[in-house]
Amino acid sequence: MDTTAWNTTATSVFESPYPSSKRSSKAATIHFRSHRAEIDVTAVMSLLAKEISELHDLHGLLDRIYVRNKNQHRRSAWFKDLRSFRRNLGQIMIVLDGRVSGDRASQLRYRLSFWEEFLTFEWYLSFSQLVANGQFAAIGVVLLATLARVCALLGITRSYLERPGKKVKTEIESLAIGEALKVSGQMEAAEGEDEGVVVQREE
């Protein structure tokens, strides 16, 4: 991405939902300077029941990946981003399900703006590196696919594409991998490849 599109010294107008100690330095300092396109929060709040159900299914998939890999990978950088993605999506779902008090639209706009401004590209880069690693590429593909589909459902992808600048759009087109893998059976198959090896203990 064009480095002129980034301002590494500016402070975001959105506070993080989490203390600074819980965020990476990248998420805390990077600020996207491109003219921002407002996320259509009304459209997100009007998602069909099947789309809300799909978001729940995707969050459930993240839960399973999290539980399955917690012991082995909990100190890995990609796992910390998985934990962040899972937690943030869970909080979005709480708002969409109406399990919060106050102005739901304002809360949703606040959280989605933080996703758009900071989190999405951090997660994308982290999961892309996992794919490039090779050993755990299947998990990386599932996470990229999940991220792409979630961003499409929440209107974040559309917001990025409406920003001026060819390089921004080129980066977002990379997230289209999720559209090709959004069938839950394919994602489940990829997630299930890393079965491990049963080791017999000698008496």
pLDDT tens-digit map of 70-88: 999 989 999 999 999 999 9
Would residue 201 count as lying in a domain? no
**Mean pLDDT value of segment 107-112:** 89
pLDDT at 88: 96
Would residue 197 count as lying in a domain? no
pLDDT at 18: 41
The predicted-structure confidence for 1-35, as pLDDT tens digits, reads as follows 333 332 222 222 223 444 344 444 443 333 333 34
List the domain range (segments joined by +) for residue 186: 3-191
pLDDT at 90: 95
In the structure encoding, which two tokens stand for residue 109, read together?
């706009």
pLDDT at 6: 27
Would residue 62 count as lying in a domain? yes
Would residue 203 count as lying in a domain? no
The span from the CA of 31 to the CA of 29, in Å, is 6
Would residue 185 count as lying in a domain? yes
Q: Which residues contact 58 (CB under 8 A, 6 or more apart)?
A: 89, 146, 149, 150
pLDDT at 173: 58
**Mean pLDDT value of segment 98-102:** 83
pLDDT at 43: 78
Would you say residue 135 has pLDDT above 80? yes
CA angle at 201 for the pair 199 and 203, rounded to the nearest 5°: 160
pLDDT at 174: 57
Would residue 199 count as lying in a domain? no
Task: Supply the Cα-derived Rg of the chain in whole angstroms.
Answer: 18
Among residues of the chain, what percentage have pLDDT more than 90? 34
pLDDT at 176: 54
Would you say residue 138 has pLDDT above 60? yes
Count of domains observed in the chain = 1
